[in-house]
């Protein structure tokens, strides 16, 4: 009925309305950061339903499960009770593979292997191929295979193209790896896209089926799709070409995992009759923030030029904060947040801290504890990656998929059942020669002469246990997990342990039960397999609790799609952001991606944006000089404000010198050119506050230890330390300010 949907459009701009109502044919929505994209997408789905499109004919693809859930909620609020399919690409792939399991010659209860699992299979594949894996690490080879799959390169094709020694080696491992996965009835992350994509290419019947089923397709974050995802999108839009993709090339940050920015840049070429809608008005950030972020991204060469505009307030300049050390940085950032909240300026939940690398969250964690500021580190997987939880999950996986040999190996002797390495090796070779999975080989344990005594009894007991537990598979996941931790003796093992950490581990394992219970509340009919799938396909942000009043800490990658009134981006330093590994790329593509990464982080901020860096940063146990990121120099002077927060003289003093890059001593840090990735071995005469200027290699005399040679100097001010190797007493560390030394002339 005409008019019924009008209220869906009432509060939208003309451009947004166009994006919502243009339902037929290919549509490209270029949505700048903060342009109300989520709103447009949900309205569009609701609009389709209003226009009479059947829910079962709509497919919406999001980047994380969390955004899928949110979208489902929002659409449901607009059109209650609809059954629109909203999923991530990986979850869609898993769904297709399970539904059409027979066509893929799969058992529908397949296990999804994560990167860790993948590397273990790669390792055994390397061994099976008789290759010395010291040269080619499973990690590296696994990454290469993953990349190949993302580009839809089959093992056969890969072997054809292999030219150098490394690729030829991978070419040998790749088919073995795939075979092993199949034997275990397991899929890795890439298979979830790769297999459906290839099938859509070769199996016309399947393709036509799915195309007709998903007549209206909507893909969010299209700039981060890879080749397999692209293929899936295209093949599902042949007969029904109602493909709507939404994205922003400036926010493409997953190139390293195969995402191809060309997918969005070339969309109009792929679908010549594409309508393009630009959403360029920003409703999120202040003019200052937008101006700064816009100037930064202008430095990218491969880019569609695009202005960022907003009607919002001017706001305050972007704050660039310089600290002496990474420790100070964490300390002061948390302290500032605490003060702002105490001053009733806002709540903890209004603030987010973004970091380039997870390692940086460690120092933050202690600062939060020190100031008792509530926080959450958004790293969902961490919980399920704990050893104890992985152990329990291995049991669960084995219950669902008996052929999962990896999970068999993990669980068979945990808790200890007297089944050791050698017995397992016998079992394995028996299984191999009889072409059985380990579970089935276990059935014949009495006929394997090499396994006897404790090991044989243990294996029999294990098999019996698994069979019994498998009888519970129809129960709620929560019940099964409870039974597993009880009946396997896992609980008892932890309970009776005298290692105090084991009580925490027990609590974690029991938390798993709670997680399953929660899952069942949200998905009442879901099986244990569904629960396992959800866990493995979960992203970090999926575990983010946006209800709690606490500061959120996450990586820049995880921050995509979110917004916060106050944002801190930490360690904006050369080597970290841009990351040093991105600088090895000569084309500069990777550096541009790093710039986009900072751009994404900056554009999350609504009111206040802080970019921080330190002069010294502890890295892998040693202290290194840190140079402010070159990206900071790309920000316009009229949108930023520098603050040096230093405690040189023992007390904290804040002053905003080196503003505008004038020739102040602090500025010299930008030009020292010290390689942040290597230890500092020069005397660094610029640290003029120190009374004595020692240098590395210098020969000195100490009152007590005698003659020695300076091997290292690092640190700053009162923290400045040096190492001296003495002829008689070995290496000692001193605080430069305190130690009394005499220089020995050469």
For the annotated catalytic residues, the residue numbers are 37-38, 220-221, 251, 604
Q: Give the nearer residue to DNA in terms of CB position, either 306 or 732.
A: 732
According to the binding rule CB under 7 A, does residue 215 interact with DNA?
no
Residue with tokens 């394997």: 448
User: To the nearest whole angstrom, how small is the minimum distance from the Cβ of residue 463 to DNA?
Assistant: 16
Q: Which of 190, 331, 478, 573 binds DNA (CB under 7 A)?
A: 190
Give residue 694's Cα distance to chain centre: 43
According to the binding rule CB under 7 A, does residue 555 interact with DNA?
yes
* Residue numbers 584-623 binding DNA by CB under 7 A: 590, 620-621
Residue 372: count of CB within 10 angstroms of its CB: 8
User: To the nearest whole angstrom, how small is the minimum distance from the Cβ of residue 224 to DNA?
Assistant: 10
According to the binding rule CB under 7 A, does residue 115 interact with DNA?
yes
| CA–CA separation, 601 and 613 (whole Å) | 15
Angle subtended at Cα 489 by Cα 485 and Cα 494, rounded to the nearest 5 degrees: 80
Q: For residue 589, give the 3-state DSSP assignment.
A: helix
Q: Give the nearer residue to DNA in terms of CB position, either 277 or 543.
A: 543
Q: Which of 282, 332, 411, 558 binds DNA (CB under 7 A)?
A: 558
| CA–CA separation, 735 and 586 (whole Å) | 41
Residues 232-261 vs DNA: string with x where CB under 7 A? ---------------------x--xx----
What stretch of H or E contains 466? helix 453-470
According to the binding rule CB under 7 A, does residue 526 interact with DNA?
no
Give residue 545's Cα distance to chain centre: 17
Alpha helices in 225-380 (DSSP H): 227-235, 262-265, 267-270, 287-297, 326-342, 361-370
Q: Give the nearer residue to DNA in terms of CB position, either 580 or 637.
A: 580
Give the range of 287-295, 331-339, 350-358, 639-647 binding DNA by CB under 7 A: 350-358
- The tokens for 679 are 């230890």
- The tokens for 113 are 């292997």
Q: Give the nearer residue to DNA in terms of CB position, either 188 or 211.
A: 188
User: To the nearest whole angstrom, how small is the minimum distance from the Cβ of residue 68 to DNA?
Assistant: 10
Provide the 8-state DSSP code for 632. G
| CA–CA separation, 267 and 223 (whole Å) | 10
Q: Give the nearer residue to DNA in terms of CB position, either 256 or 669.
A: 256
| CA–CA separation, 459 and 259 (whole Å) | 45
Q: Which of 70, 76, 107, 114 binds DNA (CB under 7 A)?
A: 114
Q: Which of 177, 189, 395, 734 binds DNA (CB under 7 A)?
A: 189
User: To the nearest whole angstrom, how small is the minimum distance from the Cβ of residue 621 to DNA?
Assistant: 4
Smallest CA-to-CA distance from 284 within 322, 303, 310 is with 310
User: To the nearest whole angstrom, how small is the minimum distance from the Cβ of residue 499 to DNA?
Assistant: 8
User: To the nearest whole angstrom, how small is the minimum distance from the Cβ of residue 161 to DNA?
Assistant: 23
Provide the 8-state DSSP code for 8. G
According to the binding rule CB under 7 A, does residue 579 interact with DNA?
yes
| CA–CA separation, 639 and 620 (whole Å) | 35
Count of residues in contact with DNA, rule CB under 7 A: 45
User: To the nearest whole angstrom, how small is the minimum distance from the Cβ of residue 665 to DNA?
Assistant: 30
- Residue 524 buriedness (CB in 10 A; 0-12 / 13-18 / 19+): exposed
Q: Which of 160, 304, 495, 581 binds DNA (CB under 7 A)?
A: 581
Q: Give the nearer residue to DNA in terms of CB position, either 307 or 359.
A: 359
Q: Give the nearer residue to DNA in terms of CB position, either 187 or 396.
A: 187
What stretch of H or E contains 124? helix 115-128
* Residue numbers 462-481 binding DNA by CB under 7 A: none
User: To the nearest whole angstrom, how small is the minimum distance from the Cβ of residue 509 to DNA?
Assistant: 17
User: To the nearest whole angstrom, how small is the minimum distance from the Cβ of residue 637 to DNA?
Assistant: 29
Q: Give the nearer residue to DNA in terms of CB position, either 195 or 645.
A: 195
Q: Give the C-alpha distances (Å, rounded to integers) separating 553 from 310, 576, 729.
A: 27, 17, 45
* Residue numbers 265-294 binding DNA by CB under 7 A: none
Q: Give the nearer residue to DNA in terms of CB position, either 288 or 451.
A: 451
Give the range of 202-210, 552-560, 606-614, 650-658 binding DNA by CB under 7 A: 552-560
With a CB cutoff of 8 Å and minimum separation 6, the contacts of 12 are: 20, 39, 40, 43
According to the binding rule CB under 7 A, does residue 90 interact with DNA?
yes
Task: Sheet with 706-714: list strands edge to edge.
Answer: 730-735, 721-726, 706-714, 699-702, 741-743
Bridge partners (DSSP) listed for residue 318: 640
Q: Give the C-alpha distances (Å, rounded to integers) separating 515 from 395, 477, 479, 481, 490.
A: 16, 10, 12, 10, 18
Q: Which of 35, 38, 50, 64 binds DNA (CB under 7 A)?
A: 64
Q: Which of 38, 42, 67, 88 binds DNA (CB under 7 A)?
A: 88
User: To the nearest whole angstrom, how small is the minimum distance from the Cβ of residue 121 to DNA?
Assistant: 13
User: To the nearest whole angstrom, how small is the minimum distance from the Cβ of residue 356 to DNA?
Assistant: 7
* Residue numbers 395-434 binding DNA by CB under 7 A: 413, 416-423
| CA–CA separation, 547 and 553 (whole Å) | 15
Q: Which of 101, 206, 208, 381 binds DNA (CB under 7 A)?
A: 381
Q: Give the C-alpha distances (Å, rounded to integers) separating 574 from 555, 595, 661.
A: 17, 12, 17
Q: Give the nearer residue to DNA in terms of CB position, either 190 or 690.
A: 190
Q: For residue 390, give the 3-state DSSP assignment.
A: helix
- The tokens for 116 are 């860790």
- The tokens for 378 are 């958004």
CB 377 within 8 A of CB 365: yes
| CA–CA separation, 26 and 10 (whole Å) | 24
Q: Give the nearer residue to DNA in terms of CB position, either 357 or 507.
A: 357
What stretch of H or E contains 175? helix 165-183
Q: Which of 77, 238, 359, 653 binds DNA (CB under 7 A)?
A: 359
According to the binding rule CB under 7 A, does residue 389 interact with DNA?
no
Give the range of 87-95, 229-237, 433-441, 678-686 binding DNA by CB under 7 A: 87-95
Give the range of 45-53, 315-323, 578-586, 729-737 binding DNA by CB under 7 A: 578-586
Q: Give the nearer residue to DNA in terms of CB position, either 208 or 583.
A: 583
According to the binding rule CB under 7 A, does residue 68 interact with DNA?
no
| CA–CA separation, 325 and 721 (whole Å) | 14
* Residue numbers 285-344 binding DNA by CB under 7 A: none
Give the range of 83-91, 171-179, 508-516, 646-654 binding DNA by CB under 7 A: 83-91
User: To the nearest whole angstrom, how small is the minimum distance from the Cβ of residue 107 to DNA?
Assistant: 22
- 431-450 in b/e form (b: 16+ CB < 10 A) is beeeebbbbebbeebeebee
- The tokens for 174 are 């790749």
Q: Give the nearer residue to DNA in terms of CB position, either 603 or 698.
A: 603
User: To the nearest whole angstrom, how small is the minimum distance from the Cβ of residue 433 to DNA?
Assistant: 20
Which chain residues interact with DNA by CB under 7 A? 64, 88-91, 114-115, 137, 139, 189-190, 253, 256-257, 356-359, 381, 413, 416-423, 454-455, 537-542, 555, 557-558, 579, 581-582, 590, 620-621
């Amino acid at each position: 009925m005409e008019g019924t949907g009008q209220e869906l459009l009432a509060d939208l701009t003309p451009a947004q309305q166009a994006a919502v109502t243009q339902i037929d044919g290919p549509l490209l929505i270029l949505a700048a950061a903060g342009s109300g994209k989520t709103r447009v997408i949900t309205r569009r789905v609701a609009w389709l339903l209003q226009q009479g499109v059947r829910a079962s004919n709509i497919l919406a693809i999001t980047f994380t499960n969390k955004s899928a859930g949110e979208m489902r909620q929002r659409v449901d609020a607009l059109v209650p009770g609809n059954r629109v399919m909203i999923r991530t690409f990986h979850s869609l792939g898993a769904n297709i593979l399970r539904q059409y399991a027979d066509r893929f010659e799969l058992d529908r209860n397949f296990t999804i292997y994560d990167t860790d699992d993948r590397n273990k299979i790669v390792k055994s594949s390397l061994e099976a191929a008789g290759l010395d894996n010291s040269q080619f690490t499973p990690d590296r080879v696994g990454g290469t295979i993953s990349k190949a799959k993302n580009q839809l390169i089959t093992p056969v094709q890969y072997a054809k193209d292999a030219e150098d020694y490394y690729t030829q080696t991978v070419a040998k491992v790749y088919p073995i790896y795939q075979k092993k996965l199949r034997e275990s009835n397991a899929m890795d992350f890439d298979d979830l896209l790769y297999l459906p994509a290839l099938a859509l290419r070769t199996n016309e019947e399947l393709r036509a089926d799915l195309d007709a089923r998903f007549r209206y397709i909507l893909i969010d974050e299209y700039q981060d799709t890879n080749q397999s995802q692209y293929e899936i999108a295209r093949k599902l839009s042949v007969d029904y070409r109602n493909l709507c993709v939404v994205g922003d090339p400036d926010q493409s940050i997953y190139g390293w995992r195969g995402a191809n920015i060309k997918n969005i840049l070339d969309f109009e070429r792929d679908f010549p009759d594409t309508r393009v809608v630009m959403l360029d008005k920003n409703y999120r950030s202040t003019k200052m923030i937008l101006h700064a972020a816009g100037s930064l991204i202008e430095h990218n060469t491969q880019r569609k030029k695009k202005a960022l505009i907003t009607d919002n307030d001017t706001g305050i300049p972007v704050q660039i904060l310089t600290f002496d050390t990474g420790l100070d940085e964490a300390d002061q950032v948390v302290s500032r947040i605490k003060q702002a909240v105490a001053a009733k300026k806002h709540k903890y939940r209004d603030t987010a801290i973004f970091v380039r690398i997870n390692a940086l969250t460690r120092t933050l964690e202690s600062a939060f504890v020190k100031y008792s500021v509530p926080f959450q580190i958004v790293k969902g997987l961490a919980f399920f990656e704990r050893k104890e939880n992985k152990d329990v999950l291995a049991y669960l996986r084995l219950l669902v998929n008996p052929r999962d040999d990896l999970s068999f190996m993990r669980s068979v002797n945990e808790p200890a059942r007297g089944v050791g390495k050698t017995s397992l090796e016998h079992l394995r070779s028996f299984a191999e020669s009889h072409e059985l999975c380990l579970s089935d080989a276990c059935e014949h344990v009495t006929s394997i002469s090499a396994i006897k005594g404790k090991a044989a009894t243990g294996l029999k007991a294990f098999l019996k246990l698994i069979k019994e537990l498998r009888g519970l598979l129809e129960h709620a996941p929560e019940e099964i997990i409870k039974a597993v931790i009880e009946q396997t003796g896992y609980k008892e093992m932890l309970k009776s342990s005298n290692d105090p950490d084991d009580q925490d581990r027990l609590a974690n394992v029991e938390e798993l039960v709670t997680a399953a219970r929660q899952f069942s509340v949200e998905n009442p009919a879901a099986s244990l397999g569904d629960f396992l799938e959800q866990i493995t396909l979960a992203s970090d942000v999926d575990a983010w609790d946006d209800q709690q009043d606490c500061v959120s800490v996450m990586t820049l990658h995880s921050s995509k799609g979110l917004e916060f009134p106050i944002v801190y981006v930490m360690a904006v330093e050369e080597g970290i952001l841009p990351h040093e590994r991105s600088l090895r790329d000569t084309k500069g593509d990777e550096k541009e991606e790093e710039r986009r990464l900072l751009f994404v982080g900056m554009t999350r901020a609504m009111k206040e944006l802080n970019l921080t860096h330190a002069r010294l940063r502890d890295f892998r146990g040693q202290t290194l000089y840190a140079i402010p990121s070159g990206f900071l120099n790309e920000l316009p002077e009229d949108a930023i404000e520098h603050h040096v927060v230093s405690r040189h003289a023992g007390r904290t003093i804040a002053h905003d010198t080196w503003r505008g890059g004038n020739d102040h001593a602090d500025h010299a840090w930008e030009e020292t050119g010290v390689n942040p990735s290597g230890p500092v071995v020069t005397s660094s005469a610029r640290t003029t506050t120190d009374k004595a200027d020692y240098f590395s290699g210098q020969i000195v005399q100490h009152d007590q230890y005698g003659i020695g040679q300076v091997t290292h100097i690092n640190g700053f001010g009162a923290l400045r330390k040096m190492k001296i190797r003495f002829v008689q007493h070995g290496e000692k560390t001193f605080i430069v300010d305190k130690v009394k030394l005499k220089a020995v002339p050469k």
